[in-house]
Amino acid sequence: MEVGVIIPNAGPKTSPENIVATARLAADLGYHSLWLTDHVVLPEQVNAYYPYRSHGRWDYPSDTNWLDPLLSLAWAGAAAPGLKLGTSVLVLPIRNPVLLAKQVASLDCLSGGRVILGVGAGWMEEEFEIIGERFENRGSRAAEMVELMRRYWSGESVVFEGKHYHTAAARMYPRPAQGSIPIVWGGHTDAALRRVARLGDGWHPTQISLDQLATGLQKLGAYCERFGRDPASLSVIARPGDNYEINDRTHARHVELGVDHLIVDTPIKEVDPDLSILRAQMERVAKICGLG
């Protein structure tokens, strides 16, 4: 099992220096990947249901630091040349698919083929409204975006006539260093799991319980059968967040469930000026997972 860490692109720990320090620490400890979270703008009033807390409330103030994940991954990747670079997760439908395809392909070229694109349809309706994108059709648009981006990454001439997006004949170069970009879908609803089975290279469940993870994997297997895909061809990249602690017992359960990649979280609100709390957490998990 590979192990990654959320590096601080959000909250009071956010700084160029802390991103570099965390990336280098991860490399020194034997971690395999660096991950960043995503929000473009934080509304002052959020009434949308937050699906990653039992109480359903978003409780981060609107002046919370939140650096762009793709630009921050380029910065972090230069500090830790051997580590994979992932988003956890990028909100697709608030972005332009052609521009995003270019940005991600460029990051993959500059990093030597290290990008894992974690994506989701999004949940914060107010953020969509501020950016000027529709919220109601976000799932359908996200699915179409993935199809369009993959076509551009193929290097072939792209003419696209979808329900939401339309493009004249064009090519996009350079292609990603990997040839294409692995796309792992976040979310744990039935709709999200269907997107994984139909369009994903993997599933990236975040902040759910081990029981929910096990149930989700069972459902994903059934959806893969429906769409004619082998579940074993999909990677599983789990990020427990603060839902449960990574310890010997939970690590063993991840192995039992077939998790391929485990992500250590960085609490956004945590004040940790010298990164001592984060360092202790990363060292503890590295020991549990047998890194180094």
Domain locations in the chain?
Answer: 2-184+238-255+267-288, 186-237
Identify the bridge partners of residue 203 per DSSP, sorted by sequence position. Answer: 185, 236
Answer yes or no: are the C-beta atoms of 29 and 3 closer than 8 Å: no
Q: Mark the ranges of the chain whose per-residue pLDDT is less than 50.
A: none
Identify the bridge partners of residue 196 per DSSP, sorted by sequence position. Answer: none
- What predicted TM-score, i.e. pTM, was given to this entire model? 0.97
Q: Please tell me the class of the 2-184+238-255+267-288 domain.
A: alpha beta
Nearest-angstrom CA–CA distance, 67 and 173? 27
Half-sphere CA count of 100, side-chain side, radius 13 A: 23
Identify which of 52, 46, 16, 41 has the alpha carbon closest to the alpha carbon of residue 265.
52
Nearest-angstrom CA–CA distance, 94 and 133? 6
Nearest-angstrom CA–CA distance, 174 and 168? 19
Instruction: State pLDDT tens for residues 199-232.
Output: 999 999 999 999 999 999 999 999 999 999 999 9
Nearest-angstrom CA–CA distance, 164 and 137? 9
- Here the tokens at position 64 are 């919370």
- Return the exposure string of 168-179: e unless at least 16 CB atoms fall within 10 Å of the residue's CB, then b: eeeebeebbbbe
Could you identify the residue written with the tokens 């319980």?
209
pLDDT at residue number 267: 82
Identify which of 233, 71, 103 has the alpha carbon closest to the alpha carbon of residue 174.
103
Interhelix angle 276-288/16-29, rounded to 10 degrees, is 20
Could you identify the residue written with the tokens 């971690």?
31
pLDDT at residue number 87: 99
Nearest-angstrom CA–CA distance, 141 and 91? 11
